[in-house]
Amino acid sequence: MQEEEKNAGGETPEANSPGGEAAAEGPRNPNMKWYIIHSYSGFERKVKESLESRVLAFGLQEKIGKVLIPTEAVTEVRGGKKYTSERMFYPGYVLVEMDMDDHVWHVVKSTPRVTGFVGTGQQPTPLSEEEVQHIVYRVGEAKDKPKLKVKFEKNETVRITEGPFASFTGIVDEVNEDRETLKVMVTIFGRSTPVELEFNQVEKTA
């Protein structure tokens, strides 16, 4: 268990690798499916490290594959500067690829800070292929395009920071979170005019 103690000291940059570091080399076990485990919120990375250590300690590389914490990069604008950080899609949850049997179930369930599996009753329920593709695709997509960690609401006042209307203030009229755009009503020459802007072109007026 020295491996677990060694890993416990610091964070691992698993966000750069959607599959994590626990993928077994060599032929893949065709019986592996993805399961979701509950963990204490805030300890997802420790659970990932502990699981990967236990796979090695118990020689379970053929039964437990990847350990994944789905994250996305989010950009926050503070004081006119952009800061990018990692945010979890599903705080309190870790995805594990397993060929489930009683022994594997017990090893995972007894991992420190794991509170149980997602499923019906005592039976863990594997993710469907569609759910797996959605989550893994979303991880890959999020790596390519960081999201802004800002929530704008209709009728709030914002200041425009970029473009021809920089330094103007206006009132939010519409919010499109999927496209990360806003329609802002700006008073130009005494008339209220709608301007479409991206989230990163405005900031909240504190």
Query: Is residue 100 located within the same domain as residue 188?
Result: no
Q: What is the pLDDT of residue 49?
A: 96
Whether residues 181 and 87 share a domain: the answer is no
**Is residue 49 located within the same domain as residue 101?**
yes
What total number of domains does the chain contain?
Answer: 2
- Sign of the dihedral through C-alpha 91, 92, 94, 99: negative
Shared-domain flag, residues 18 and 117: yes
Q: What tokens does 134 get?
A: 């959605």
How far is Cα 52 from Cα 46, in angstroms, rounded to an integer? 10
Residues 32 and 61 in one domain: yes
Contact (CB, 8 A) for 182 and 174: yes
Of 19-33, 36-50, 147-161, 165-179, give the lowest mean pLDDT range.
19-33
* pLDDT for 144 beyond 50: yes
What's the rounded Cα separation, in Å, for the pair 105 and 84?
37
State which residues form the domain around 187.
Answer: 157-204
Q: What are the tokens at 146?
A: 């960081």
More confident residue, 142 or 58: 58
Pair (140, 162) in one structural domain: no
Sequence-distant (≥ 6) Cβ neighbours of residue 50 within 8 angstroms:
4, 7, 8, 111, 112, 113
State the pLDDT at residue 139.
67
Q: At which of 148, 168, 191 does a domain end?
A: 148
Neighbours of 139 (CB within 10 A): 20
Query: Which of 101, 119, 148 marks a domain boundary?
Result: 148
Higher pLDDT residue, 136 or 104? 104
What contacts 142, CB < 8 A, 6 or more positions away? 71, 72, 73
Position 7 confidence tier, pLDDT thresholds 50, 70, 90: very low
One domain for residues 83 and 28: yes
Q: What is the CATH number of the domain that holds 172?
A: 2.30.30.30
